């Protein structure tokens, strides 16, 4: 008790200590790279969010581009882990929200005022972008994001393994189920669709001839053919011919490069790594036709740059996005082709990219153009998860597809009603 | 001490020769010390706990999508939505199953470890440290080790490698809910992380049991081992056991990290906090419904804790002694 007596801690001492701490505050702030105003030499600061790309050198590349911009000091948050969406969404609610971030075009972000209109920077160059990308970023006549890369997703297969098992590259879902059985050995599984199997939900829908939503934004995925396709995936799951619980998920090519599986669903970004590991012993095919009247499907994913509409520096952020993803064509080319393989959304760049003109990359571009399905901005995060739950409930848990689709309908209709009334 | 109490009483009771002190300043100084030391914590508690709880309660009556600012008043709609939401109610079932298993198993396991370490004649400190060390590991890190190294579904996962020696085929520990092997993964990781901490509590309690009790029991003819444990040790650990069970229950309600990291994109094995996370973030960004769920969960935890305290007689352990 005596140690705490007021002889040691009188009012003056406390005030002196407080004043000292207050004086130290600005000094501490001088050394911090917070990415916010006041911290940089130029006084202009921007923060950008990126999810962690798997390809080596990407983080350094994006930071190199940012450092080359002399209009502001740009701080990059390179977000690792699998929940980039959650981190981004929660950050957007705070004052520390990024000024610029990558994501996919989704209408709820526009309706809730989270992203800024980028029509003014896109209009002069929009004719040089893939028209499907422009369409997927255009809502109410305005363009809301700048596509950075297009990422087709398809099946990679080991030619030698298929030959040895006497299997032709499957062209229907039934053939894929049969191939998985013939390709499975004591050490190698037939097919890898991702640990959650959700990456192939949309391709399954498209390959039956259905779609996620109609042009009028009504449910289009709930068909008998989709339900039948889910049952076929369940057959494959139960048979033990699918690779499950792989240490790295579908976006990483290690399952096929390490010889764990003969056929893997993955993206074009992994092509350089796969070719390096397997040489010519690799081919690609789209998701096979799943019903009569359907046709093969490829997911044309990708990432786009958006400007936070609530940023204090909206104009500066737009300038930066224009500088990096519209004016600096050399960086776009570098970003698309120097690490993994992506298709540049700028038509002029895609046409001049020699790396995509022959061999497997050229086949990837062909599948992208022939069978690709682009982002539908009305297909939002909540709807994506609703169908992911359908896969979990039916393919992995063995539930009734009809019941699972009914459950998803309720969620999707609730979302549609909130978005479109 | 008397010099710093209320001035009038202190003066009367001050012995002769006590140095004269400024009574008023003493009280003020003590008050200042109180606020100096507790103030920052109270402010932190208010800012990071009470205000968010209040805001969450307020938000639960409003539509709040993609924002934490209330927009439209919806009354009890969010509560109705959450209570009729199959995923949320399933998560409560998941918690019940999880708690019903993990609480008694951790209790028994940590008590067993404590008794074992307590009986060691040498290297006791070493083993105590070995069992306690996992407590310092984060749930996320441990979950990733469990998922990617030990219970990976491929042939070179540790568990599958060992099973392979006995001719057992690879098991997809986390991908397949039938049979629900994922519970084994979840329970073992939590047991590994938590048992050491509760072992220390039991160890302290064991060392507080007077040896005379065992001597008296021996004189009365009690056999060492199970009989002594049942009639002497266990009753003496009642207070600690009650506290441990309470802590385990609360910890079970707060289960998040291992479920979130081990069971991504499943519709099964989601405890309430994971379900609320998906409701408020990631999927729907529905902060109104998420807040309603959080309120429901808070009320539930309070009820269960009170009931548990009543049935187990929390705080009665000392009286029993």
> CA of A389: which chain B residue's CA is closest?
B267
**ipTM reported for the complex, 2 dp:** 0.75
Q: Does A260 touch chain B (CB under 8 A)?
A: yes
Contacts of B173 in chain A (CB under 8 A): 245
Contacts of A10 in chain B (CB under 8 A): 29
Under a CB-based contact definition with an 8 Å cutoff, are residues A347 and A134 in contact?
Answer: no
Q: Report the C-alpha gap between A343 and B262 in whole angstroms.
A: 33
Contacts of B28 in chain A (CB under 8 A): 6
CA proximity to A335, closest of A57, A91, A107, A1 = A57
Out of B152, B267, B281, name the one closest to residue A393 (CB). Answer: B267
Contacts of A398 in chain B (CB under 8 A): 178
Q: Which residues of B148-162 are buried (b: 16+ CB within 10 A; e: fewer)?
A: eebbbbbbebebbee
Kindly tell me the number of DSSP H helices and DSSP E strands found in chain B: 17, 2
Under a CB-based contact definition with an 8 Å cutoff, are residues A416 and A218 in contact?
Answer: yes
Q: Write down the pLDDT at residue A75.
A: 96
> CA of A86: which chain B residue's CA is closest?
B282
pLDDT, tens digit, 9 for 90 and up, residues A62-117: 999 999 999 999 999 999 877 788 889 889 988 889 999 999 999 988 988 999 99
Q: Report the C-alpha gap between B20 and B35 in whole angstroms.
A: 26
Confidence of residue A370 (pLDDT cuts 50, 70, 90): very high
Q: Report the C-alpha gap between B44 and A146 in whole angstroms.
A: 42
Out of B1, B172, B265, name the one closest to residue A198 (CB). Answer: B265
**Could you tell me if residue A141 is left (phi over 0), alpha (psi between -120 and 50 degrees) or otherwise beta?**
left
Contacts of A396 in chain B (CB under 8 A): 175-177, 266
> CA of A382: which chain B residue's CA is closest?
B283
Q: Report the C-alpha gap between B126 and B128 in whole angstroms.
A: 5
What average pLDDT does range A333-358 have in this prediction? 94
Q: Report the C-alpha gap between B186 and A259 in whole angstroms.
A: 29
Disruptive mutation site among A1, A5, A6, A185 for chain B (greatest number of B CBs within 10 Å)? A6
Count the residues in chain B: 321
Between B25 and A121, whose confidence is greater?
A121
Name the minimum distance, in Å, from the CA of A242 to any CA of chain B.
Answer: 10
Q: Write down the pLDDT at residue B285.
A: 82
Is the CB of B68 less than 8 angstroms away from the CB of A93?
A: yes
Name the minimum distance, in Å, from the CA of A329 to any CA of chain B.
Answer: 33
Residue A357 has pLDDT above 50, yes or no: yes
Please name the residue that has the structure tokens 């255009």: A138
Disruptive mutation site among B66, B80, B143, B274 for chain A (greatest number of A CBs within 10 Å)? B66
Helix, strand or coil, per DSSP, at residue A39: coil
Contacts of A89 in chain B (CB under 8 A): 66, 281-282, 285
What is residue A51's DSSP assignment? E
Name the minimum distance, in Å, from the CA of A128 to any CA of chain B.
Answer: 33
Between A320 and A382, whose confidence is greater?
A320
Under a CB-based contact definition with an 8 Å cutoff, are residues A318 and A118 in contact?
Answer: yes
Percent of chain A residues past pLDDT 90, beyond the cut: 81
Residue A168 has pLDDT above 90, yes or no: yes
Query: Chain B residues within 8 A (CB-CB) of chain A?
Result: 1, 4, 25-26, 28-30, 32-33, 36, 65-68, 86, 148, 151-155, 157, 169, 172-178, 264-268, 277-278, 281-285
> CA of B180: which chain A residue's CA is closest?
A397
Out of B1, B176, B281, name the one closest to residue A396 (CB). Answer: B176
Under a CB-based contact definition with an 8 Å cutoff, are residues A341 and A356 in contact?
Answer: yes
Nearest-5° angle of CA A58, CA A63, CA A69? Answer: 135
Name the minimum distance, in Å, from the CA of A174 to any CA of chain B.
Answer: 22
Is the CB of A196 less than 8 angstroms away from the CB of B265?
A: yes
Q: Residue A355 CB: number of other CB atoms within 10 A?
A: 15
Is the CB of A244 less than 8 angstroms away from the CB of B175?
A: yes
Q: Output the CA torsion sign for A367, A369, A375, A378.
A: negative
Helix extents (H) in B177-237: 182-207, 211-219, 226-228, 234-236
Out of B4, B65, B68, name the one closest to residue A418 (CB). Answer: B65
Q: Report the C-alpha gap between A254 and A260 in whole angstroms.
A: 8
Q: Report the C-alpha gap between A418 and A411 in whole angstroms.
A: 11
CA proximity to B271, closest of B195, B194, B156, B187 = B187
Q: Write down the pLDDT at residue A418.
A: 86
Which residues lie closer than 8 Å to A151 by C-beta, 6 or more apart? Answer: A267, A268, A269, A300, A301, A302, A303, A342, A343
> CA of A18: which chain B residue's CA is closest?
B36
Contacts of A381 in chain B (CB under 8 A): 282-285
Out of B86, B154, B268, name the one closest to residue A397 (CB). Answer: B268
Q: Report the C-alpha gap between B285 and A419 in whole angstroms.
A: 14
pLDDT, tens digit, 9 for 90 and up, residues A183-208: 999 889 999 999 999 999 999 999 99
Out of A6, A83, A245, name the one closest to residue B175 (CB). Answer: A245
pLDDT, tens digit, 9 for 90 and up, residues A204-256: 999 999 999 999 999 999 999 999 999 999 999 999 999 998 888 999 999 99
Which residues lie closer than 8 Å to A177 by C-beta, 6 or more apart? Answer: A232, A235, A236, A239, A241
pLDDT, tens digit, 9 for 90 and up, residues A42-52: 578 999 999 99
Is the CB of A9 less than 8 angstroms away from the CB of B36?
A: yes
Q: Write down the pLDDT at residue A354.
A: 93
What average pLDDT does range A23-27 have in this prediction? 43
Helix, strand or coil, per DSSP, at residue B161: helix
Strand-pairing partners, residue A267, are A153
Contacts of B155 in chain A (CB under 8 A): 187, 260
What stretches in chain B show pLDDT beneath 70? 1-26, 282-283, 313-321
Q: Write down the pLDDT at residue A105.
A: 94
Q: Does A243 touch chain B (CB under 8 A)?
A: yes
Q: Residue B47 CB: number of other CB atoms within 10 A?
A: 10
Q: Write down the pLDDT at residue B19.
A: 52
Is the CB of A389 less than 8 angstroms away from the CB of B174?
A: no
Out of A9, A381, A418, name the one closest to residue B283 (CB). Answer: A381
Is the CB of A392 less than 8 angstroms away from the CB of B68?
A: no
Contacts of B40 in chain A (CB under 8 A): none
Disruptive mutation site among A238, A245, A261 for chain B (greatest number of B CBs within 10 Å)? A245
What is residue A303's DSSP assignment? E
Contacts of B178 in chain A (CB under 8 A): 397-398
Q: How far is CA B64 from CA A38, B50, B287, B320, in A?
A: 33, 20, 5, 51
Q: Does A16 touch chain B (CB under 8 A)?
A: no
Name the minimum distance, in Å, from the CA of B260 to any CA of chain A.
Answer: 10
Please name the residue that has the structure tokens 């581009």: A65
Which residues lie closer than 8 Å to B254 by C-beta, 6 or more apart? Answer: B273
Q: Write down the pLDDT at residue A24.
A: 45
Helix (H) or strand (E) holding A131: helix A131-136
Q: Write down the pLDDT at residue A60.
A: 97
CA torsion, points A176, A177, A183, A186, in degrees to nearest 10?
150
Q: Write down the pLDDT at residue B246.
A: 86
Out of B65, B154, B265, name the one closest to residue A246 (CB). Answer: B154
What does pTM read for this prediction?
0.81
What is residue B286's DSSP assignment? B
Out of A85, A198, A245, name the one closest to residue B172 (CB). Answer: A245
Q: Write down the pLDDT at residue A58.
A: 96
Secondary-structure percent of chain B, ordered helix, strand, coil, rounded to 5: 70, 0, 25
């Amino acid at each position: 008790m005596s140690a705490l007596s007021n002889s040691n801690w009188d009012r003056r001492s406390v005030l002196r200590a407080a004043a000292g701490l207050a004086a130290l505050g600005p000094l501490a702030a001088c050394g911090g790279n917070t990415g916010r105003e006041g911290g940089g030499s130029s006084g202009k600061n921007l923060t950008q969010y990126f999810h962690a790309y798997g390809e080596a050198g990407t983080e350094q590349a994006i930071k190199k581009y940012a450092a080359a911009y002399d209009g502001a000091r740009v701080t990059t948050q390179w977000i690792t882990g699998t929940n980039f969406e959650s981190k981004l969404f929660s950050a957007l609610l705070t004052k520390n929200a990024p000024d610029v971030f990558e994501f996919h075009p989704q209408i709820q972000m526009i309706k809730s005022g989270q992203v800024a209109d980028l029509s003014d920077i896109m209009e002069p160059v929009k004719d040089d972008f893939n028209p499907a990308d422009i369409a997927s970023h255009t809502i109410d006549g305005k363009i809301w994001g700048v596509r950075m890369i297009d990422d087709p997703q398809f099946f990679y297969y080991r030619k030698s393994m298929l030959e040895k098992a006497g299997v032709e590259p499957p062209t229907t879902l039934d053939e894929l189920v049969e191939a998985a059985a013939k390709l499975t050995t004591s050490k190698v599984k037939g097919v890898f669709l991702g640990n959650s199997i959700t990456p192939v939900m949309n391709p399954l829908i498209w390959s039956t001839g259905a779609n996620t939503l109609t042009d009028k934004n009504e449910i289009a995925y709930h068909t008998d053919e989709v339900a039948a396709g889910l049952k076929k995936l369940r057959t494959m799951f139960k048979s033990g011919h699918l690779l499950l619980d792989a240490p790295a998920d579908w976006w990483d090519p290690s399952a096929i490069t390490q010889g764990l599986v003969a056929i893997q669903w993955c993206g074009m970004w992994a092509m350089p790594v796969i070719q390096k590991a397997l040489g010519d012993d690799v081919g690609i095919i789209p998701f096979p036709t799943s019903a009569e009247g359907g046709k093969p499907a490829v997911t044309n994913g990708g990432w786009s740059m958006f400007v936070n509409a609530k940023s204090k520096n909206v104009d500066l952020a737009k300038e930066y996005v224009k500088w990096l993803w519209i004016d600096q064509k050399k960086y776009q080319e570098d970003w698309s082709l120097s690490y993994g393989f992506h298709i540049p959304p700028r038509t002029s760049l895609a046409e001049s990219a020699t790396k995509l003109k022959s061999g497997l990359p050229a086949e990837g571009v062909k599948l992208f153009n022939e069978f690709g399905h682009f982002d539908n901005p009305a297909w939002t995060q909540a709807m994506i998860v609703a169908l992911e739950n359908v896969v979990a409930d039916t393919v992995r848990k063995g539930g009734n597809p009809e019941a699972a689709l009914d459950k998803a309908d309720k969620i999707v209709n609730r979302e549609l009603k909130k978005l479109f009334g | 001490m008397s010099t710093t109490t209320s001035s009038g009483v202190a003066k009367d009771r001050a012995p002769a020769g006590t140095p004269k002190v400024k009574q008023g300043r003493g009280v003020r100084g003590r008050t200042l010390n109180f606020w100096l030391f507790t103030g920052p914590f109270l402010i932190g508690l208010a800012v990071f706990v009470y205000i968010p709880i209040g805001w969450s309660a307020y938000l639960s009556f409003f539509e709040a999508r993609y924002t934490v600012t209330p927009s439209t008043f919806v009354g009890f709609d969010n509560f109705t939505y959450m209570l009729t939401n199959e995923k949320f109610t399933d998560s409560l079932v998941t918690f019940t199953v999880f708690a019903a298993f993990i609480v008694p198993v951790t209790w028994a396991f940590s008590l067993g470890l404590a008794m074992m370490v307590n009986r060691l004649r040498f290297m006791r400190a070493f083993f105590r440290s070995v069992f306690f060390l996992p407590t310092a590991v984060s749930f996320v890190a441990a979950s990733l080790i469990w998922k990617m190294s030990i219970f990976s579904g491929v042939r070179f996962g540790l568990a599958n490698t060992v099973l392979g020696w006995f001719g057992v085929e690879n098991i997809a520990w986390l991908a397949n809910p039938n049979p629900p092997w994922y519970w084994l993964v979840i329970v073992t990781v939590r047991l590994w992380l938590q048992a050491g901490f509760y072992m220390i509590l039991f160890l302290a309690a064991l060392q507080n049991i007077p040896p005379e009790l065992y001597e008296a029991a021996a004189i009365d003819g009690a056999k060492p081992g199970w009989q002594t444990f049942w009639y002497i040790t266990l009753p003496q650990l009642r207070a600690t056991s009650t506290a441990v069970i309470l802590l385990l229950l609360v910890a079970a309600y707060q289960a998040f990290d291992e479920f979130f990291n081990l069971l991504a994109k499943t519709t099964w094995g989601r405890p309430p906090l994971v379900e609320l996370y998906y409701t408020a973030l990631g999927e729907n960004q529905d902060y109104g419904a998420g807040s309603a769920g959080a309120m429901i969960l808070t009320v539930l935890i309070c009820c269960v804790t009170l009931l548990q305290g009543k049935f187990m007689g929390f705080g009665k352990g000392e009286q029993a002694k």
